[in-house]
Structure 1
């Protein structure tokens, strides 16, 4: 096997992970007390700092090449970011999301979004958070690459569609897409100026579009579900087109991840050709942990030079996968895209919202250990 196949110095790495990690119980308790007015902002920030230090050490000890802050400061993987874009606000309306899991159904509600003025960027979102992560990694995990995770720009549209746009601000959608891409391009330049060399844009919307039920729901609200993925890919490409050469950008696609439940099903077939052949990211983090995700055949559209991070290890349960089964599945994927373009990770984060998935800290660590060990066995 060639050297390029056995090691990677540019993200994504052979053993990688999506980003979010289980919040320590002390932090969850502090959040509850903060909401009740018993803990002030400064004290909460200090406890978040401690939690970030804890998860940086966890990732270092697992043998990973990259570290995130585990999204310790967020309640939600995406809304905490989107509400900081100029022009975006929450409303009194609620968005209902229907999730499923092995035991039944789980319904979730969150505030709807409203775009009431032109989209823009007034400050570097998560800038202070990334700076603290980078400093902590330099102190506790020297040599590891800090990764900043953010929602894809498409998630703003996915949360509300055309109906979320004030018609007096955006009577036509094209200026909305242009402003949104420009705001993200500005954000990526800003974080690169802070020293970020690895950014990830998380995007459930492109995975949801593989599910006929999700496409029907999008059509019913007035959007063009049959071609929406094409618009999403163009917007992402516009957002990342002028990123600094030093900044690697990946995207993560999954079908929902809330308290060990999911919202959508289906393989990547519907979006695969446009997504894999046209989206100019450095790597795709893809959910492949069970039959809901379909087979590896859509990977045939992945061109040379782009990495596929196979999400074969589930974060939805604590049961540890058989390493030999993981290796066989990597071999199966390699029938459709060369082995040197493959990496390994969990299928999603461990805690996309602060509640977290149904597994323990020790089970989370065991899964990270397993990913590192299997990657060493496969790629050296």
Structure 2
């Protein structure tokens, strides 16, 4: 049994929003529901989903990201100096049926980056007070996501003529956020990051190069950025990172194994564990895991959140055995490949299917590790 995060049976964080919560958020957006009442409805939905996670046997519990519209931008827009731009960006998500065009607002760094508040501090404190048997887990986007979405073009050159100033301010803001969260009692923090997975895809690297960034070495900058944010990580705080290739309405953006970033990523990133997508052939093989040091945990995302069909225990055990050829079995854990609802829309499965998958992960982990 693992006594600190990540746990043998774990999960990424986001969960399908209940219909009553979706209705409340729509009413609030329309101006017919006051903020205080929305908070009450969110509170009750979070109480229920925390109990459901514990009932499923999980040793970590999140608030399902129920107070957010998206896994990353709700956090990023609360950083000082960061806001929405007037223009939009175009993102092409893919699934078995075709392509989904998504056009969120572009991001703009309009002032020096700073931490003006403890972002999600009240949200974590509420979660902390609801858990019974589980460790409360908070998920936030990695600092890299502030850069990856728009690159140099999204950062005012008058503020940051030298990009090192931007990176330094960003690290300082994140380091202070981490410190404050630990003061609130957070012992399990996760940096969610698509950039380090996207950069394995040659098409994504071509896009990055096309906008003027150094696509062949950007992952090294990003690894250093996370490490700078965690340089003074408080004692007793476990930090993991989750890397996925896009998760929106059961669709994805990028493909490719972890080979391009693996040696630097696993060898240099100063986190306690890696949540990795391995639910289908888009994720490549387990060979890159040979670079994982002995003191790091790998959480194998073998159970897909993109479909409701339940995986078989035998298949999951077989794949864990395959991964154990490259990294010691004692370093491995099991989870879904991503969140069930990275955005408020959620993936194409039911709440019952979602919790069946979480129970399957718990049962399979118990049979593998005891």
**8 Å CA contact 2:49, 2:63 repeated in 1:** yes
* Matching of residue 89 in structure 1 with residue 83 in structure 2: yes
Partners of 1:358 and 1:27 lie apart in 2 by 18
Bigger Cα displacement from structure 2, 111-120 vs 315-324? 111-120
* Matching of residue 210 in structure 1 with residue 200 in structure 2: yes
Gaps of 5+ in 1: 1-6
* Matching of residue 371 in structure 1 with residue 361 in structure 2: yes
Partners of 1:25 and 1:238 lie apart in 2 by 40
Hey, what does 1:17 align to over in structure 2? 11
Hey, what does 1:30 align to over in structure 2? 24
Q: How far apart are 1:143 and its partner, in Å?
A: 2.9
Hey, what does 2:125 align to over in structure 1? 131
In the superposition, the TM-score normalised over structure 2's length comes to: 0.99
Hey, what does 1:80 align to over in structure 2? 74
Hey, what does 1:3 align to over in structure 2? none
Q: 1:60 pairs with 40, 54, 64, which one?
A: 54
What CA deviation, in whole Å up to 9, does each residue of 1:342-376 have, x standing for no partner? Answer: 00000000000000000000000100000000000
Partners of 1:358 and 1:129 lie apart in 2 by 27
Hey, what does 1:189 align to over in structure 2? 179
Hey, what does 1:4 align to over in structure 2? none
Q: How far apart are 1:135 and its partner, in Å?
A: 0.6
The runs of at least 4 consecutive aligned structure 1 residues that moved more than 4 Å come to none
What CA deviation, in whole Å up to 9, does each residue of 1:53-97 have, x standing for no partner? Answer: 111011011000010000000000000000000000101110111
Q: Secondary structure of the equivalent of 2:150?
A: helix
* Matching of residue 113 in structure 1 with residue 107 in structure 2: yes
Gaps of 5+ in 2: none
Hey, what does 1:162 align to over in structure 2? 152
* Matching of residue 249 in structure 1 with residue 239 in structure 2: yes
What CA deviation, in whole Å up to 9, does each residue of 1:168-190 have, x standing for no partner? Answer: 10001111111111111100000
Partners of 1:245 and 1:329 lie apart in 2 by 34
In the superposition, the TM-score normalised over structure 1's length comes to: 0.97
Hey, what does 2:283 align to over in structure 1? 293
Partners of 1:109 and 1:19 lie apart in 2 by 24
Hey, what does 2:188 align to over in structure 1? 198
Q: Secondary structure of the equivalent of 2:316?
A: helix
Q: How far apart are 1:117 and its partner, in Å?
A: 1.1
Q: How far apart are 1:33 and its partner, in Å?
A: 1.1
Q: 2:225 pairs with 229, 235, 251, which one?
A: 235
What CA deviation, in whole Å up to 9, does each residue of 1:235-258 have, x standing for no partner? Answer: 000001111111000000000000
Hey, what does 1:179 align to over in structure 2? 169
Partners of 2:30 and 2:115 lie apart in 1 by 31
Hey, what does 2:257 align to over in structure 1? 267
Partners of 2:317 and 2:231 lie apart in 1 by 35
